[in-house]
Amino acid sequence: MFGITIPVAVDLSIPAGALLQNVKQRLSLPSSFDYQNQIGVRFEYALLNGNAQLPPERPLLEQGIRDRSLLWLQCTMHPFAAQSPQSGRLESVSFRGESPEAAALAFAQRRLTSVLEKAAVGKRRISRQS
C-alpha cells in the first residue's frame, strides 16, 4: 500500500507492538484525520507475517520471526461521524502491500534494471534484443 520496503535490524525479543509503534513513529503515520471531530477516519495499524496478524504483546521471536523475515504493515480505516448517517453504512476497510512473491519479483526487477544501467547496458539495448 505504501509502496516502500524498509530493511531494519530489530531485537527479536521485543514485543510486536513495540516494533509497530517504532514503525508508526518513523513513518509519521497518522492516528486519525477529522474535521472538528465531527466526521473523519481513524487508522488502526497491525504487523502481519504472511496473512497472520502478530499479537502486539508477544515477542517477535515467539511468533516465528527470524532474521530476514518480511513483515507487512496493514492499515485499517474506520470512518466515523458525530451523528448517524442519513443513508448507507460506515464500514471499515483494510489495506496492505502486495503478496510476498510479487514484492520479491518487483524488487528483483528493480535491482536487475539498476545493475544493468550501471553496467551501461541500459533499457534501450535490453528492449531491442528481446
pLDDT digits (tens, 9 = 90+) for 70-115: 899 999 999 999 988 888 887 888 877 666 566 666 667 777 777 7
34/12 Cα distance (integer angstroms): 36
- Asked if the model's pLDDT at residue 19 lies above 90, the reply is yes
* Mean pLDDT, rounded, for 113-120: 70
What residues does 39 pair with on adjacent strands? 35, 81
Query: When comparing pLDDT for 33 and 4, which is higher?
Result: 33
- Please give the single-letter amino acid code of residue 28: S
- Asked if the model's pLDDT at residue 121 lies above 90, the reply is no
Q: What is the pLDDT of residue 89?
A: 82
